[in-house]
């Protein structure tokens, strides 16, 4: 649903200054992130072969853009949804040691997205992945990693304020953690998105833990594919799930604003369990899944951080189309223009 804020005042109205600010955000944040998590920048594919199982299935229902590769006998390739699994394979190929990792600029097409203020068919994000040790597959390590990412966001916000004094920092000092079951218990009469709005309005920055598995109402907080995040393993806090989303309160749109989906990745046991829960045991024969089950892939933590999303938030923009060039309907372009929102 398109949101047109009343009396929208774009803090950086001219295109040239906006483009300069976007570059500053991207440069600063990726430098901060790589320092916090010891990440090496690598190049990334725009497409992967379908039969490898390397593409991200997102919620498990989206269809990737496909095309035949002539020089491979017409074999089918897919434009990536994200690099959730490819990064883990890349780390195995690089023989990366625990405590180190990679990040990359990921560009994807998601043509089934419902286009609105924060969704576009074009997705750009920092995809990152870090090798971990077996004893780090726990909720304490997950929270430690989330705090490091949040610190990278805060440092970027503060540095941006030096260059653009109109962008006054608004993030709280600490990020608040809550499990999706606790959130349901707290707001049992609300939808998942309404629960996110309430908790994020209260705390400003929230990490919702445990996304993908069914809660006490028989439904998941949100969808997750079965073969990358571990959403089914019990954790030491008495709930299931070693993954989650970083949410920030967006005062321009007056809503919870997801900037990152991340988590500790499945080990062999969690993969088997989650494929069974989703009725997707057939995937176990694909290259990625076979490698994981055979112990050929490292244990990792990883996720994606939206580049246009983060720029939109830090630059106080009302629509992702003020940050990136994509495809918008003529009606949306006209409605936004009347509200002072000019789409690229």
Catalytic residue IDs: 56, 110, 125, 245, 258, 261
- Residue 249: phi and psi, rounded to 5, are -75, 125
Distances (CA, A) of 284 to 21, 48, 64, 274: 45, 18, 20, 11
What is the rounded distance in angstroms from the CA atom of residue 56 to the CA atom of residue 97?
24
> How wide is the angle at C-alpha 327 spanned by C-alphas 322 and 332, nearest 5°?
70
Cα-atom radius of gyration of the chain, to the nearest Å?
20
Residues of 270-289 as b/e, b for ≥16 C-beta within 10 angstroms?
bbbbbbeebebeebbebebb
Distance of CA 284 to the CA centre of its chain: 25
- What is the 3-state secondary structure of 65-126? CEEEEHHHCCEEEEECCCCCCHHHHHHHHHCCCCCCEEEEEEEEECCCCCCCCCCCCEEEEE
């Amino acid at each position: 649903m398109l949101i047109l804020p009343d009396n929208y005042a774009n803090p950086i109205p001219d295109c040239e200054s906006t483009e300069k600010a976007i570059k500053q955000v991207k440069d600063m944040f990726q430098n901060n992130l790589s320092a916090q998590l010891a990440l090496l920048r690598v190049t990334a594919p725009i497409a992967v072969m379908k039969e490898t199982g390397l593409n991200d299935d997102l919620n498990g229902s989206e269809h990737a853009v496909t095309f035949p590769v002539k020089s491979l006998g017409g074999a089918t390739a897919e434009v990536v949804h994200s690099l959730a699994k490819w990064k883990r394979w890349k780390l195995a190929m690089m023989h990366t040691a625990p405590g180190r990792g990679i990040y990359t600029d990921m560009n994807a097409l998601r043509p089934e997205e419902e286009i609105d203020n924060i969704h576009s068919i074009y997705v750009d994000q920092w995809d990152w992945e870090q090798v971990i040790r077996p004893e780090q597959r726990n909720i304490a390590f997950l929270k430690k990693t989330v705090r490091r990412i949040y610190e990278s966001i805060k440092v970027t916000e503060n540095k941006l304020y030096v260059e653009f004094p109109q962008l006054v920092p608004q993030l709280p000092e600490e990020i608040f953690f809550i499990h999706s079951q606790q959130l349901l218990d707290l707001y049992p009469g609300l939808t998942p998105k309404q629960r996110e709005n309430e908790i994020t309005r209260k705390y400003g920055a929230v990490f919702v833990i445990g996304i993908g598995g069914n809660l006490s109402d028989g439904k998941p907080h949100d969808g997750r594919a079965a073969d990358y995040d571990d959403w089914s393993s019990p954790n030491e806090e008495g709930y299931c799930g070693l993954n989650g989303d970083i949410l920030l309160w967006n005062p321009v749109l007056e809503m919870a604003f997801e900037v990152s989906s991340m988590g500790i990745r499945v080990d062999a046991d969690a993969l088997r369990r989650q494929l069974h829960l989703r009725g997707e045991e057939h995937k176990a024969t694909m290259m990625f899944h076979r490698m994981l089950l055979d112990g050929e892939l490292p244990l990792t933590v990883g996720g994606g951080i939206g580049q246009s999303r983060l720029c939109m938030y830090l630059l106080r923009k009302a629509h992702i189309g003020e940050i990136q060039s994509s495809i918008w309907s003529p009606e949306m372009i006209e409605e936004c223009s009347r509200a002072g929102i000019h789409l690229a």
